Structure 1
Amino acid sequence: MKFPRRGLYAITQPENKTINQVVKDVEAALRGGARVIQYRDKNPVNASQLASLLLEICHTYDAPLLINDSIELALTVGADGVHLGRDDGEISAARRKLGPNAIIGVSCYNDVEKARAMAVAGADYVAFGRFFPSGTKPLAAPAEIISLERAKQSITVPIVAIGGILPENGGQLLTAGADLLAVIGGVFDHEPEAAARAYQALFNQPPE
């Protein structure tokens, strides 16, 4: 499974939901056009079961499932890859455990130099953010749109933007250099299929 070059990158919102509801919501987002799903769960109850179900539904829609933070969970369920934050280990360690075909993404916050280094080290994509106020990470340090412009000049792997992104503000991030928009609440606080379609429409519009 390859990481897409463009599109909506939907991140799960499992808090206070049953496993069945999370799977139903993710399938709705995929129907709406989400190209990637990341399983993010800060208080997991049965992570292996849920991740396995999500992997099955993602592959039905030809979309990769990535696991946030946990190389071990990605290995256990056979996920397509992992997303590494600040304290989640090195790309080389993830690559050794998950194999040469795994998708490995890295959070780079607002650090273009780190993003360049991670791309050289083998990251399949780099992520910047948060760009707008975010209910999921209200205390996260802000990223600047100019960082996307700078990154686009020298980084060839896909660039993901995250943080408070709505259909109303996502277009400016795509214009600046983002290839994918990563969204949690903007998709899963609403009816996920319709919300995903609203984001996916941004990728069909001419640049601003």
Structure 2
Amino acid sequence: MTAPASPTAPARGVYLITPDEPDTARLLARVAPLLAAGPTWLQYRNKTASAALRREQALALQPLCAAHGVPLIINDDPALAGEVGAAGVHLGGSDGDIGAARALLGPDAIIGASCYDQLDNADRAIAAGANYVAFGAFFPTTTKITSSRAHPDLLRQSAALGVPRVAIGGLTPDNVGPLIGAGADLVAVVSGVFAAPDPVATLRAYLARFQEASA
């Protein structure tokens, strides 16, 4: 299958996802030092916020991300992504139509799709216009309820998709090495970084696993 033209082909590293933080000033204070440490993308995700708070926080994050050269991706809401000028959107299995998001956000937007533990989901997402796919959960996670459990073989089997593949779900610096070795281009983390005693040092530990894999 031929992938759509994509600005994400070189994407590799840590895909940082925000926690459910109700205080916008605190959210920015938590995110800023991490952006300086070099994640590849930042996804704004807040499942407990009102629409007004999500808009406020996304608007606040966009210039911060731009200042650090880190693309901002909005979870589940193409309209909000377009409103705040974000780089793209991430859609779950029941969170909207990929083709409609592509039509709204344009050919240069980063549009990702949750594909859980199914390669067929990834094929369909790419055909619809996604330019990255996410598989998981690879390990138990407390961030969200999930019934799917992906295996590293899925990353090997998806090598020919032609788009970046994201591994997600219970990832730590100690367990991501085999997933990167199996073909994960990015590792997505929420609490693995934000709940760590030293988030910046922990983010750098994830990044070190990519350096080790390339050595």
Conserved? CA contact 1:30–1:193, under 8 Å: no
Are 1:173 and 2:201 an aligned pair? no
CA RMSD of aligned residues (A): 1.7
Identical-residue share of aligned pairs (%): 45
- Residue of structure 2 in register with 1:40 after alignment: 45
Residue 86 of structure 1, aligned match among 90, 93, 100: 93
Contact 1:29–1:195 (CA<8 Å) still a contact in 2? no
Tell me by how many angstroms 1:148 deviates.
0.8
Instruction: State whether residues 175 and 207 of structure 1, in contact with CA within 8 Å, keep that contact through their aligned partners in structure 2.
Output: no
Measure, in 2, the Cα distance between the counterparts of 1:27 and 1:48: 18
Corresponding position of 1:195: 202
The reply on whether 1:186 has 2:192 as its aligned counterpart is: yes
Q: Could you say which residue in structure 1 is the equivalent of 2:169?
A: 163
1:97-136 Cα offsets, whole Å, 9 max, x none, are 1112111000000111221222233211000000001011
State the partner residue of 1:110: 117
CA distance in 2, matches of 1:101, 1:139: 31
Cα 1:53–1:2 shift into 2, 3 Å: farther
- Aligned counterparts, 1:1-12, within 5 A: 2-3=7-8, 4-12=10-18
Deviations 1:40-79 (A, max 9, x none): 1111141111101111111111111001011121122111
Aligned to 2:63: 56
For residues 47 and 206 of structure 1, what CA distance do their matches in structure 2 show?
A: 36
Residue 3 of structure 2 is matched in structure 1 by: none
Residue pairs, 1:147-162, within 5 angstroms: 147-152=154-159, 154-162=160-168
CA–CA distance in 1 between the matches of 2:205 and 2:106? 35
Letter in 2 for 1:92: G
* Contact map agreement 1:32 1:192 (CA 8 A) in 2: no
Report whether the alignment pairs 1:65 with 2:72.
yes
Secondary structure (helix, strand or coil) at the match of 2:192 reads helix
Partner of 1:13: 19
- Paired AA for residue 158 in structure 2: A
2:129 corresponds to which residue?
122
* Letter aligned with residue 44 of structure 1: A
CA distance in 1, matches of 2:11, 2:32: 21
> Hey, what's the Cα distance between the residues in 2 that align with 1:13 and 1:206?
28
Provide the TM-score with structure 1 as the length reference.
0.93
Can you give the 5+ residue segments of structure 2 that lack an aligned partner in the other structure? 1-5
Q: Residue 7 of structure 1 contacts residue 179 of structure 1 at CA under 8 Å; is this kept in 2?
A: yes
TM-score between both structures, scaled by the size of structure 2 = 0.90
Q: Distance in 1 between matches of 2:167 and 2:130?
A: 15
The answer to whether the 8 Å contact 1:26/1:192 transfers is no
Q: Deviations over 1:125-184 (max 9, x none)?
A: 0000000010112444211111111011x2110000000000000011001110000000
**Letter aligned with residue 20 of structure 1:** A
Task: Say whether residues 1:135 and 2:146 are aligned partners.
Answer: no
Check the 8 A contact 1:6/1:180 in 2, yes or no.
yes
Report the number of matched residues.
Answer: 206
